[in-house]
Amino acid sequence: MAQIDLKNIAHSYAAAPSSEDDFALKKLDVSWQDGGAYALLGPSGCGKTTLLNIISGLLHPTQGAVLFDGADITPKPPEARNIAQVFQFPVIYDTMTVYQNLAFPLQNRKVPKRQIDVRVRRLADMLELSKYLSRKARDLSADEKQKISLGRGLIREDVAAILFDEPLTVIDPQLKWSLRSQLKRLHAEFNHTMIYVTHDQTEALTFADQVIVMSEGEIVQTASPQELFERPAHTFVGRFIGSPGMNVLPCAIDNTNVILAGHAINIGRNVTLPSDAERIELGVRPEFVKISTDENALPATVEAIEDAGRYRIARLRLHDLQLAVILPDGAALPSGTTGVIFDTENTHIYADGHLVERRA
Amino acid sequence: MQKTHDHKALWLVAPALLLVAFTAVIPLMTVVNYSVQDTFGNNQFFWVGAEWYREILRSDRFHAAFLRQIAFSATILAIEIPLGLAIALSMPKKGLGVSVCLVLMALPLLIPWNVVGTIWQIFARVDIGLLGHTLNGLGIDFNYTQNAGAAWATLIIMDVWHWTSLVVLLCYAGLVAIPPAYYQAARIDGASRWAVFRYIELPKMSRVLLIAVLLRFMDSFMIYTEPFVVTGGGPGNATTFLSVDLVKMAIGQFDLGPAAAMSVIYFLIVILVSWAFYTIMTREDFEPSGGAR
C-alpha cells in the first residue's frame, strides 16, 4: 500500500504532439492518499482510462512522473509496479479453473502454495465463488467471469493500489448493487487504495470518498460526493452530476442583485466577478428550486411534468430559459403560469464556467 | 415455445441439396457401384460383393502406399503447425509491416499446384537446378531421381514452402482477434511470456489451429499433383502416395473395380482421421460443466 502522486502528468497518443488538442490528458497533478477510495468520473473519452493506465504502467506518459511513496516509478513496467487492475470486460484464462485463475497472480510472484490456498479460498468466499472453484472458468456466466476478474485484482494483499476500469459495465443491474457494496466491504477490510473509473455517477458517488471529475483531459473538480452535489466547482460538474443535472442559466450581475431573464433576484451575498469574465451564469440544482405563487416568485410557465419514479420533475419556461424543478413528495402538480423561488444558499454564480467563490 | 411443423424450410435447403447431390453424392455412389462389380469390357458388369475390398485391404502395395502417406502427412504436420505458429507469433501486429508480411505469406498460396511442382522440379535438379546443383557442388549427394531420401526431402520442403503460409494466416487471424485487455491483464498479473502463450494465445487460437490441422491433414493426405510433377512417384515407388497409386491403378491399369474399392477405403480413412483430430482437439468443449472435479 502506498501513497500515489502524479506530478505534471500529460499524455498524448500522437507521436509528435504539436498543440494542446493533441493531448488526451492535459497537464495535471493528483495525489492519492494511502487507503483512500477514489472514483474517476467523466464522460467517455475524457481521459480517465488513460490516467488509470498511466498509474498501472500500461501507458508511459508523454511527460511527468508517477511516484509511489515518493519514489519515481515512471519507467517501470506494470509487473514491477505492484499494482492490480480490473478491466471493463471480463478477462479470464479460459483453460484454467476458477481456482487457478484466482491463484495465477500469486503463483507468478512465487507466493508459497499454502498461503495461496488460504487467500484464494477466503476471497472466493467473499465473492461467492466458492462453489465454482474447481470449474473451468469459461463455463461460467458473464457476471461470474467478471467476479473472477475482480477476484484476480483483489487477490494480492501487498499491492500499492487496485485500479478498476468500469468493472461493472457488463454486470446485471441487480448484481451491480451487491458487487459494489462487496467492493466497499473489501475496501474497509483490506484498506487498499482503490481507484475506480466510471462514467456512471451513481457508481462513483456510492463507491468513493473522493470523486475526481474529469472532462476533456482535465480534472474539473476533486471533492466528496456531497460537495460535488452542493457546490459544483464548474458548470460541467453541475450538469454531469445529478439527475436531472443543475440548471445553468445565463444571467447578469448588478451589485448585489442577479438579473435573470429580466428579473432581479437577491441571492443574499455580494459576488465579485473576475474582471475578464465574459460569460456569467447562475447555477441551481432542480432540488433547490421551489414552485411558489408568492409575490416575489419569478413568473414561470409549466411546460411538462415528468415522472421519474421516485419523484416528479416539472419542466418550466422562465421567459426564454428552460428550468427543471424536482417536486416535493405529495405536492400538488403545478400547471399553467406559476412562480419559482431559488434557495439562495444553494444558488451559485459561475464566470466562464468556473464557480465564483462567495465572500463573507 | 411453439414449434412450427410445416416443411417450408425443406424448399430452402432443396437447391443446395440438389447441387451437392449432383457434385458429390451421385459421383460417389457411382464409385461405390463400381467397387462391388467386375467388368470385362463391353459395358457388362458382374456382382463380386466385397471381393475388391478384401483384395485391397490385403495387398502389400496398398499397405506400403498407406504407410508412406501417413509418414508424409505426419511429417508435414509436425513441421508446418509449429513453424506456422512461430511465424504468426513473430509477425508484427500493426504498421506497414503487417501488409508486407501478409502479402509475402499469401504469395505461395496463390501459385497453382502443378506450377509449384514444376518450380521445385527444376529448382532441385542436379544439372540445372539452383538447389540441386549447389548441393552437389558442396559435395552432398542429392539427386531426387535416384535417391529416395532426396525425393522425400524435396517433396517435404516443397510442401512446407507451399502451405506453411496457410497455417500462419489462420493463426495470425486468431492472434489479432485477442482483445488487448488480455495482454494487459497478463502483464498486471505478472505472467511470463510462456504463460501468455500457454494460457492466452494458445487457448484463443485452438479453434483456428484445429481448422489448420484438419485442412493440412486432408490436403496432404490427398496430395497428388506435386509428387506427380516432381518425382512421378519414384524413384521406384518411394513417393507413390495413396492418390498417386490410385491414379496408376484406375487409369494406368484400368482396374476400375479395385480402384473404386480403394477410393472408398481412402475416403473413409480421411473422414475417420479428421474425425479423430476433431474429437481430440475439441474434447474439452464436450466435457460436461463441472466435470473436472
Q: What is the pLDDT of residues B198-218, one digit of tens each?
A: 899 998 888 889 889 989 998
- Domains of chain B: residue spans and CATH: 59-282 (1.10.3720.10)
CB contact under 8 A, B189 and A96: no
To the nearest 10°, report the CA torsion of B253, B256, B258, B262.
Answer: 100
Q: What is the identity of the amino acid at A346?
A: N
Residues of chain B found within 8 Å of residue A88, distances taken between Cβ atoms: 181
CB contact under 8 A, A58 and B179: no
- If asked whether residues A49 and A127 sit together in one domain, one would say yes
Residues of chain A found within 8 Å of residue B189, distances taken between Cβ atoms: 104-105, 108, 152
> What is the nearest CA distance from B207 to chain A, expressed in angstroms?
13
Residues of chain A found within 8 Å of residue B284, distances taken between Cβ atoms: 95, 136
Residue A280 CA to residue A294 CA, distance in Å, equals 27
Interface test with A, best of B94, B189, B286, B287 (most A CBs within 10 A): B189
What CATH code is carried by the domain that includes residue A311?
A: 2.40.50.140
The three-state secondary structure class of B116 is helix
Q: Which long-range contacts (CB under 8 A, 24 or more apart) does A109-115 make?
A: A109/A156, A109/B190
ipTM above 0.85, yes or no: no
- If asked whether residues A179 and A300 sit together in one domain, one would say no
CB contact under 8 A, A108 and B192: yes
Query: Which pLDDT score, from 0 to 100, does residue B77 have?
Result: 94
> What is the nearest CA distance from A137 to chain B, expressed in angstroms?
10
Whether A360 is covered by a domain: the verdict is no
Counting one residue from chain A and one from chain B, the pairs whose CB atoms sit within 8 A come to 65
CB contact under 8 A, A84 and B188: yes
> What is the nearest CA distance from A334 to chain B, expressed in angstroms?
48
Give yes or no for residue A255 having a pLDDT over 80.
no
Pairing of strands A83-86, A161-165: parallel
Whether A227 is covered by a domain: the verdict is yes
Query: Which pLDDT score, from 0 to 100, does residue B235 have?
Result: 83
A164 DSSP β-pair partners: A86, A196
Alpha helices in B2-147 (DSSP H): 8-20, 26-35, 51-58, 60-90, 96-110, 113-123, 130-137
Phi, psi dihedrals of residue A235, rounded to the nearest 5°: -60, -30
Give yes or no for residue A154 having a pLDDT over 80.
yes
- If asked whether residues A190 and A322 sit together in one domain, one would say no
Edge-to-edge order in the sheet of strand A321-327: A289-291, A337-342, A298-307, A312-318, A321-327
Q: Is the pTM of this model over 0.90?
A: no
Residue A180 CA to residue A191 CA, distance in Å, equals 15
Whether A48 is covered by a domain: the verdict is yes
Stated length of chain B: 293
- If asked whether residues A254 and A227 sit together in one domain, one would say no
Residue-wise pLDDT tens digits, A228-252: 998 999 999 998 888 888 999 888 8
Give how many domains chain A has, as a whole number: 2
- If asked whether residues A226 and A101 sit together in one domain, one would say yes
| Residue carrying C-alpha cell 508486407 | B100
Whether A199 is covered by a domain: the verdict is yes
Q: What is the enclosing helix (H) or strand (E) of A150? A: helix A142-154
- If asked whether residues A145 and A221 sit together in one domain, one would say yes
CB contact under 8 A, A134 and B184: no
Residues of chain A found within 8 Å of residue B200, distances taken between Cβ atoms: 93
- If asked whether residues A228 and A252 sit together in one domain, one would say no
What CATH code is carried by the domain that includes residue A204?
A: 3.40.50.300
Percent of chain A at pLDDT exceeding 70: 99
Pairing of strands B45-47, B37-39: antiparallel
CB contact under 8 A, A134 and B293: yes
- If asked whether residues A264 and A346 sit together in one domain, one would say yes
**pLDDT interval class at B62 (50, 70, 90):** confident
Query: Which pLDDT score, from 0 to 100, does residue B289 have?
Result: 39
Edge-to-edge order in the sheet of strand A210-215: A83-86, A161-165, A194-198, A37-41, A210-215, A218-223
| Residue carrying C-alpha cell 502483464 | B187
Whether A267 is covered by a domain: the verdict is yes
Higher pLDDT, B251 or B76: B76
Residue-wise pLDDT tens digits, A182-209: 888 888 888 888 999 988 888 888 888 8
Higher pLDDT, B12 or B282: B12
Show which of residues 195-214 on chain B sit within 8 Å of chain A, judged by CB atoms: 195, 199-200, 203-204
Instruction: Examine the fold and report which residue of A212, A235, A258 is the final residue of a domain before the chain moves on.
Output: A235
Whether A297 is covered by a domain: the verdict is yes
**Local structure of residue A24 (DSSP, 8 states):** E
Mean pLDDT, residues A78-82 taken together = 85
B290 in contact with A at a CB cutoff of 8 Å? yes
B288 in contact with A at a CB cutoff of 8 Å? no
Give yes or no for residue B287 having a pLDDT over 70.
no
B141 in contact with A at a CB cutoff of 8 Å? no
Q: Is the Cβ–Cβ distance between A59 and A121 less than 8 Å? A: no
Whether cis (ω within 30° of 0) applies to the bond prior to A244 is: yes
Residue-wise pLDDT tens digits, A338-358: 888 888 888 888 888 888 876
Residue B284's nearest CA partner among A131, A98, A139 is: A139
- If asked whether residues A38 and A156 sit together in one domain, one would say yes
Helices and strands, counts by H and E, chain B: 15, 2
Residue A223's Cβ-side half-sphere holds a number of Cα atoms within 13 Å equal to 15
Whether A209 is covered by a domain: the verdict is yes
Query: Which pLDDT score, from 0 to 100, does residue B293 have?
Result: 32
Mean per-residue pLDDT over chain B, rounded: 85
Within 10 A of A113 (CB to CB), how many other CB atoms are there?
Answer: 10
Q: Which of A87, A105, A136 has its CB closest to that of B184?
A: A87
**pLDDT interval class at B4 (50, 70, 90):** low
Mean pLDDT, residues A314-324 taken together = 88
Phi, psi dihedrals of residue A163, rounded to the nearest 5°: -105, 135
Give yes or no for residue B195 having a pLDDT over 50.
yes
Mean per-residue pLDDT over chain A, rounded: 86
Residues of chain B found within 8 Å of residue A134, distances taken between Cβ atoms: 290, 292-293
**Local structure of residue A3 (DSSP, 8 states):** -
> What is the nearest CA distance from A82 to chain B, expressed in angstroms?
8
Q: Which of A53, A94, A135 has its CB closest to that of B290?
A: A135
Q: Is the Cβ–Cβ distance between A212 and A219 less than 8 Å? A: yes
Higher pLDDT, A261 or B120: B120
Q: Is the Cβ–Cβ distance between A6 and A55 less than 8 Å? A: yes
Mean pLDDT, residues B168-185 taken together = 91
Instruction: Examine the fold and report which residue of A235, A269, A299 is the final residue of a domain before the chain moves on.
Output: A235
E runs forming strands in A177-320: 194-198, 210-215, 218-223, 247-250, 252-254, 257-260, 263-266, 280-284, 289-291, 298-307, 312-318
- If asked whether residues A166 and A216 sit together in one domain, one would say yes
- If asked whether residues A254 and A175 sit together in one domain, one would say no
* Nearest residue in A to B190, CA atom: A79
Q: Which of A85, A95, A96 has its CB closest to that of B188?
A: A85
* Nearest residue in A to B289, CA atom: A139
Domain extent, residue A332, equals 243-355
**pLDDT interval class at B292 (50, 70, 90):** very low
- If asked whether residues A207 and A258 sit together in one domain, one would say no
The three-state secondary structure class of A346 is helix
Cell of B167: 497455417
Q: Which of A77, A88, A105 has its CB closest to that of B189?
A: A105
Instruction: Examine the fold and report which residue of A202, A235, A268 is the final residue of a domain before the chain moves on.
Output: A235
Interface test with A, best of B178, B182, B188, B293 (most A CBs within 10 A): B188
A338 DSSP β-pair partners: A300
The three-state secondary structure class of B263 is helix
Residue-wise pLDDT tens digits, A321-341: 888 999 888 777 888 888 888
Angle between helix B148-176 and helix B113-123 axes, rounded to 10 deg: 130
Q: Which of B179, B181, B191 has its CB closest to that of A108?
A: B191
Residue B85's nearest CA partner among B202, B239, B249, B236 is: B202
Give yes or no for residue B16 having a pLDDT over 60.
yes
Residue A102's nearest CA partner among A122, A120, A126 is: A120
